[in-house]
Structure 1
Amino acid sequence: MRRSLFAVPALACVLVLGSCSGEGGTPRPDPTATTATTSSTPTSSHARPRDVTLDGRKPCDLLTPAQLTSFSIDRPGQPLDVPTLKATGCAWTVNGASNLIVPVTADGIEVWTEGNHVGKPADIDPIAGFRAVTLTTTLNPNRCDVLVDTAAGQYLAAGFSLVTDKPENFPEPCDRARRLAEAAMQNLLK
Structure 2
Amino acid sequence: MRRAVPILAAVLVLTACSQPTTGSPSGSDTGGSQTGGPQATTTSGKPGSTTAEPAKRPKTINVREVDPCTLLTEAQRTQFGTDQPPQKGKVPGFDWATCHFNRADGEYLVGTTVIGTEGIGFYTGSAQADQAEKTEVAGFPAVLIKEPGKLPKCTIAVDVSDGQMVDANVSSFGNAPIEELCRLVPQVAGAVVANLMAK
- When the two structures are superposed, what TM-score results if normalisation uses the length of structure 1? 0.73
| Structure 2 residue 47 is matched with structure 1 residue 37 | no
State the identity %.
27
Matches within 5 A, 1:129-168: 129-138=139-148, 142-164=152-174, 166-167=175-176
- CA shift, 1:119, in A, is 7.7
Question: Could you tell me which residue of structure 2 aligns to residue 20 of structure 1?
Answer: 7
Matches within 5 A, 1:1-190: 17-20=4-7, 36-40=49-53, 42=54, 47-94=56-103, 95-96=105-106, 97-117=108-128, 120-124=131-135, 126-138=136-148, 142-164=152-174, 166-167=175-176, 172-190=180-198
Equivalent pair of 1:123/1:133 in contact (CA under 8 Å): yes
Letter of the 1:106 partner, please give it. Answer: T
Q: What 5-or-longer segments of structure 1 have no aligned partner?
A: 1-15, 22-33
- When the two structures are superposed, what TM-score results if normalisation uses the length of structure 2? 0.70
Runs of 4+ in structure 1 over 6 Å off: none
Q: d(CA) in 2 for partners of 1:62 and 1:138? A: 25
- CA shift, 1:85, in A, is 3.7
Equivalent pair of 1:119/1:137 in contact (CA under 8 Å): no
Task: Give the secondary structure class of the aligned counterpart of 2:69.
Answer: helix
Q: d(CA) in 2 for partners of 1:57 and 1:72? A: 23
Q: How many residues align?
A: 156
Distance 1:65 1:158, change over 3 A: same
Equivalent pair of 1:109/1:155 in contact (CA under 8 Å): yes
Equivalent pair of 1:103/1:156 in contact (CA under 8 Å): yes
